[in-house]
Structure 1
Amino acid sequence: MTERRFDPTRNEWVTFATHRQDRTYKPKADFCPLCPTKSGARKTEIDRETFEIVTFDNRFPAFSPTAPEPGVSSTQFHPVAPANGRCEVVVYSDDHHLTFSDLTSARVRMLVDVWVDRWKVLGSEDDIAYVMPFENKGEEVGTTLSHPHGQIYGYPFIPPVPLKELTTAEDYFEKNHRCVECDAIQGELHDGSRIVFQNNFVVAWVPFWARYPYEVHVAPKHHEPNLATLSDEVRKDFADALLRVAKNYDLLFGFSLPYIMGFHQSPTDGDMRWNDFSHLHVEFTPPHRSADKLKFLAGSESAGGAFISDVAPESAATLLRERWSTVND
């Protein structure tokens, strides 16, 4: 079964993709489907012996350009729709043992170009309203393949979290004639206490309202609605900032830190008004609150949606900066 069902109590879609129960689950390294196919060996998803970056359609997609008709009837109260869209895998390297933080600056810069290209291609499809690249790193956040990779989803709707950000940003823009993310970034640059890293065009910081103990956002300092609007020089700084955050995380507790990395940007539904108040940013949300403790989304967070954090944002930013300076002085 692959279909979307509408929840009228929350005004949002829920997708069912029951075939994903059968997807590859924690294979051994010598059976990794994301490794290159070696001569005389079992064929993997990537039929070549070496590569730099590869993208391909997920074999177990939640959304598909050829989605089947729903298995239940749609009613006025219970709308049902096909799960049209796209799900792609982006493999960062042919080296199974690397992580994003191990990549070279040149490779991450190349990866930014790949994300831009896929945003354009997927976003041009009629069924896709929102394109979100993301990476799940580590078993703690549900990763089932350890090879360095991310994913790109092309949704037939704007997902709830970006939609809430966008509608809030629209309200702010109508009242203040400014982008709320631009104002937030300028406030962080002025204060400085929560800045983790910055270069000429991009800044990484722990938000004043961080929901996760070591949450970090990365964004252009000046207004950019989406990946495709970035100039070459901003793309370079964007790549450097993303890589720096990932390296900082690995220094934080002395091990390769799990995280979710998600891209928030303007929708691709053809409505150009989003560009006025949509500001491209990447959110890193690690599950750890200390070296040996995880931040579980328990009653208040899961049932109520009200986050309670264990670490002050200023302390988190200070610790991330200090770990870097200790190693690189």
Structure 2
Amino acid sequence: MVKFNMEEHPHRRFNALTGDWVLVSPHRAKRPWQGQVEKGQQTERPQYDEKCYLCPGNERIGGENNPQYTGTYVFTNDFSALLTDTPLGKDGDDELFRAESEQGICKVICFSPRHDLTIPEMTQEAVRGVVDVWQKEYTELGRHDFVNYVQIFENKGAVMGCSNPHPHGQIWSSRSIPVEPMKEQVRQLAYLQKYNRTLLGDYLKKELEKKDRLIYQNENFVVLSPYWAVWPFEAMIVSKRAVADLSLFTDAEKEDLADAYRQLTIRYDNLFEVSFPYSAGIHQAPTDGEDHPEWHFHMHFYPPLLRSATVKKFMVGYEMLATPQRDITPETSASRLRALSDIHFKKATK
């Protein structure tokens, strides 16, 4: 009788953070590939672009001018998805038709004044500046009485909906706790109440023992491909200390978070020797005034590239209508990323 093998046979994996499942089909990764495998075209961008509305000194879409900033620069989004002056209100007269107003603040963070850089090409000092801004904005936005959650995220690359290549991220703060963080809160709280330990603390301890999905680690953070990963080269950065949010980080932890951020994204770029697209975001405790010992800081990375710089993974068909699915296992993805150089390919070829 054939024995079940996770590296050979289709199986489902449970996401302990959200309660969702993912279908893994490792045998499909062995099928012959006759599609594109070429490297992506490298687009050289200038350090300053007079037409870019995020470059220092330039006029933004909303009509205001950026200052001549030299580090990170934060401003309220000129076309925010959420507004501070939205009046409270509801619509719907039964359980099948429900709507309620939403209030919040949306900001943009320019990571660097340089138009031609991305996180993996920035210095450690510059990326540390980004982390410092994250901490400051999370704390300040969370003080508003109508802000109960602060979502920090980055979309990199046109394929992930990024309309401007200038290195930047966003922060959307809202009255309600969004769907994905809420799912994680429910799971983490239930785990804490059952074991009096954080879910990710126990998960991280076991991942460090197994080592199969580790990509990189330093003194305070671990970079890994999660057991339940959906995207081909999905990754998480998890704090070794069970810290609920950015506001509680020490200087050493902020330095190591910047290092982990750089190290992962350098390996992403090196994988197919292209500016690797992804959506990334921080999940941490709500800012609703309550204590949240269940929360354990982590950052998700969802990249779409599958086999080369031009072959992408999309959620279509079965995945949209039934269950997310992946071919290569997280163990294989982690092994490939772990083996890559920590020197950016552009620097290595000079």
- Cα distance in 2 for residues equivalent to 1:184 and 1:308: 22
The answer for the alignment partner of 2:85 in structure 1 is 66
Which contiguous aligned blocks of 4+ residues in structure 1 show a shift greater than 4 angstroms? 40-46, 325-328
Structure 1 pair 278–43 and aligned structure 2 pair: CA distance change class (3 A):
closer
The answer for the alignment partner of 2:329 in structure 1 is 312
- Cα distance in 2 for residues equivalent to 1:188 and 1:41: 45
The answer for the alignment partner of 2:117 in structure 1 is 98
Deviation at residue 101 of structure 1 after TM alignment: 1.3
> What are the equivalent positions in structure 2 for 1:222-237 lying under 5 Å apart?
222-237=241-256
The answer for the alignment partner of 1:297 in structure 2 is 315
Secondary structure of 1:80 counterpart? strand
Superposed CA offset, 1:266-314 (max 9, x none): 0011121x2x21001000110111213211111233223x211121111
Secondary structure of 2:340 counterpart? helix
Letter aligned with residue 285 of structure 1: Y
Structure 1 pair 44–92 and aligned structure 2 pair: CA distance change class (3 A):
farther
- Cα distance in 1 for residues equivalent to 2:335 and 2:255: 25
The answer for the alignment partner of 1:286 in structure 2 is 303
TM-score, normalised to structure 2, is 0.79
Letter aligned with residue 155 of structure 1: S
Structure 1 pair 41–99 and aligned structure 2 pair: CA distance change class (3 A):
closer
Q: 2:50 aligns with which of 30, 37, 59?
A: 30
Deviation at residue 120 of structure 1 after TM alignment: 0.6
The CA RMSD measured in Å over matched residues stands at 2.3
Deviation at residue 67 of structure 1 after TM alignment: 2.3
Deviation at residue 76 of structure 1 after TM alignment: 4.2
- Cα distance in 1 for residues equivalent to 2:334 and 2:60: 46
The answer for the alignment partner of 2:93 in structure 1 is 75
Q: Which has the higher contact order (CA 8 A, sep 6+)?
A: 2
Q: 1:264 aligns with which of 283, 290, 298?
A: 283
Deviation at residue 56 of structure 1 after TM alignment: 0.5
Structure 1 pair 50–312 and aligned structure 2 pair: CA distance change class (3 A):
same
Deviation at residue 45 of structure 1 after TM alignment: 4.8
- Matched-pair contact (CA < 8 Å) for 2:148–2:286: yes
- Matched-pair contact (CA < 8 Å) for 2:61–2:78: no
Deviation at residue 97 of structure 1 after TM alignment: 1.2
Structure 1, unmatched stretches of 5+, are 1-27
Q: 2:172 aligns with which of 149, 153, 169?
A: 153
Letter aligned with residue 307 of structure 1: P
Q: 1:133 aligns with which of 152, 155, 163?
A: 152
Secondary structure of 1:75 counterpart? strand
Superposed CA offset, 1:219-256 (max 9, x none): 11120100111111111111100111111100011111
Structure 1 pair 41–269 and aligned structure 2 pair: CA distance change class (3 A):
closer
- Matched-pair contact (CA < 8 Å) for 1:141–1:258: yes
- Cα distance in 2 for residues equivalent to 1:95 and 1:42: 19
Secondary structure of 1:252 counterpart? helix
Deviation at residue 156 of structure 1 after TM alignment: 1.3
Structure 1 pair 186–29 and aligned structure 2 pair: CA distance change class (3 A):
same
The answer for the alignment partner of 2:130 in structure 1 is 111
Structure 1 pair 221–49 and aligned structure 2 pair: CA distance change class (3 A):
same
- Matched-pair contact (CA < 8 Å) for 1:289–1:310: no
Structure 2, unmatched stretches of 5+, are 1-47
Residues matched between the structures, number: 296
Deviation at residue 259 of structure 1 after TM alignment: 0.3
Letter aligned with residue 300 of structure 1: Y
- Matched-pair contact (CA < 8 Å) for 2:86–2:102: yes
- Matched-pair contact (CA < 8 Å) for 1:34–1:46: no
TM-score, normalised to structure 1, is 0.84
- Matched-pair contact (CA < 8 Å) for 1:50–1:94: yes
- Cα distance in 2 for residues equivalent to 1:222 and 1:296: 34
- Matched-pair contact (CA < 8 Å) for 2:60–2:66: no
